[in-house]
Chain A
Amino acid sequence: MSNPFLKAVELIFSFDKQLFDIIFLSVKVSGFALIIASVFGIPIAVFTAFKKFPLKSLFINIMNTFMGAPPVAVGLIFYLLLSRSGMLGFLGILYTPYAMILAQTFLAFPIIASLCHSAIVGVDPLLKQASITLGASPFTTAATIINEARYGIMSALIAASGRLFAEVGAILIVGGNIAGLTRVMTTAIALETDKGDFELAVALGIILILISFTINFSLNIIQKKGKKELI
């Protein structure tokens, strides 16, 4: 079993085009999904944290429930929506990176919205009072509270990116794992392992583990920083 590993390392250091195309596509799909989910998720988290509206707790509960939505089920829903006879079939994006970004955005959105909401409402209420008593306007007070929740918000983004990079079910269904077009790290590993071609699978596995390690390491650093560096 040492041969596939050595060959995998060789593939990485030889900057194999196929390998790096797959990595690049993974980063692109998950990166765009993270950005889009953040653009919608963070403002919704802020809104739900500061405003009262009808069925607010139901909305928060739904967000929390969708945090653990099975990617395969999400993939199936988007497949049905994006297939030619589906409601979004007119877009014609099934089996393209756009469909993958859409499905992954749907997976990341509740994680970002829910964890950011928890981070904001978790800020010590004394800080809101302090801000008001120091003459801040309601807008500045809100900005101060969001700033105080910054480590929690960053943790939410990192947690979401961890889920996206490791995700295989949804992108496999809506992307179709087409070589050079929609094949990303996780789907490529699944396919290459099935084929018995372990070199590429192991090389991608190493990269994926490295990405996962980097994400978790960053999360750890941010959480430590959030604990006020008291030591």
Chain B
Amino acid sequence: MKLTVSNIYKNYNNTTILNNLTYSFKSDSIYVIMGENGVGKSTFLRICALIENPDAGKIIYYKQDKALKNDIETRRRITLLLPKVGIFNTSVYKNAAYGLKVRGMGKNKIKETACEALDFVGLLHKKDQNALTLSSGETQRLGIARALAFKPEFIFLDEPTASVDYKNTKLIEGIIKKLKKTTGATIIMTTHEKEQAIRVGDKILIIEDTKIRSSIVTKDK
């Protein structure tokens, strides 16, 4: 699946955040978006993830060059992980299974897939624990497990390591790279850390003055 954002315009309280922003994301890559605070990285991610509408411009997802409708069906092929993960007051397993349940998957398949996702992030041994008792690093990993369980084709990660310690940051970076390798999903994430962007990203995009000013290829595929 490919994503093209074209001529995106977004205004907040009479301040232009994104102005005529255009970019095409190819599949099977990790894009890292950088930029100063308040530059519109998160807004851009939310717009791409179809959570927020732009004031003008288009978000088009393509499957074999055929444009998809921006409806719930497309929304179910993509996911966004926010910097602070909203965890439901139930078990770790039920949290991981949520996205599968809303897609109407069968009970046995849900069990198998959710456990697989928890295993992927190293939380399978905590599946029966109340998710609200997890540490912030584990919570973030659960957020990733919950998102990857339904095998999205695009995964948007908004500062996925913003509130976790060094050990969990390394763990999450490893999970992100493994995620691309094993699922072939396109991952678009934001970060403040230049080193992290280089470590994780295939391509770094820098948002500056309401536009994507530069794009740096870090790894040749």
Contact = CB atoms under 8 A, between A and B. Distances in A.
B84 interface: yes
Is the contact region of chain A dominated by helix, strand, or loop, or is it mixed?
A: helix
B103 A130 contact: no
Contacts, number: 65
B130 A133 contact: no
Interface in A121-142: 124-137, 140
Given A127-B86, A144-B88, A228 B146 contact: no
Contact of A133 (B72, B79, B84): B79
Greatest chain B CB density within 10 A among A130, A133, A148, A228 is at A133
Contacts of B88: 127, 130, 144, 148
B61 to A, nearest CB: 14
Interface in A88-132: 124-132
A127 to B, nearest CB: 4
Interface residues of A, number: 21
B42 to A, nearest CB: 12
A230 B84 CA distance: 19
Contacts of A148: 88-89
Given A126-B84, A126-B85, A127-B88, A134 B132 contact: no
Contacts of A194: none
A133 B150 contact: no
Contacts of B98: 131, 134, 136, 144
A22 B150 CA distance: 57
A161 B26 CA distance: 59
A133 B102 contact: no
B79 A135 contact: yes
Interface in B77-92: 79-82, 84-89
B130 A228 contact: yes
B102 to A, nearest CB: 5
Contacts of B133: 228-230
A170 to B, nearest CB: 37
Contacts of A229: 130, 133
A137 B102 contact: yes
B30 to A, nearest CB: 19
B180 interface: no
B82 A140 contact: no
Contacts of B76: 135
Interface string B91-106: 0000000110011000
B49 interface: yes
B51 interface: yes
28 contacts: A125-B86, A126-B82, A126-B85, A129-B82, A129-B86, A130-B82, A130-B86, A130-B143, A131-B86, A131-B98, A133-B49, A133-B82, A133-B147, A134-B98, A134-B99, A134-B146, A135-B72, A135-B75, A135-B76, A135-B79, A136-B98, A137-B102, A140-B102, A144-B98, A226-B89, A228-B89, A228-B130, A229-B133
Given A134-B102, A135-B72, 9 more contacts: A124-B86, A127-B86, A129-B82, A130-B85, A133-B80, A134-B146, A144-B88, A148-B88, A230-B133
Nearest first, the 8 closest Cβ-Cβ pairs linking A and B are A126-B86, A130-B86, A135-B76, A134-B99, A127-B86, A133-B80, A228-B132, A136-B102
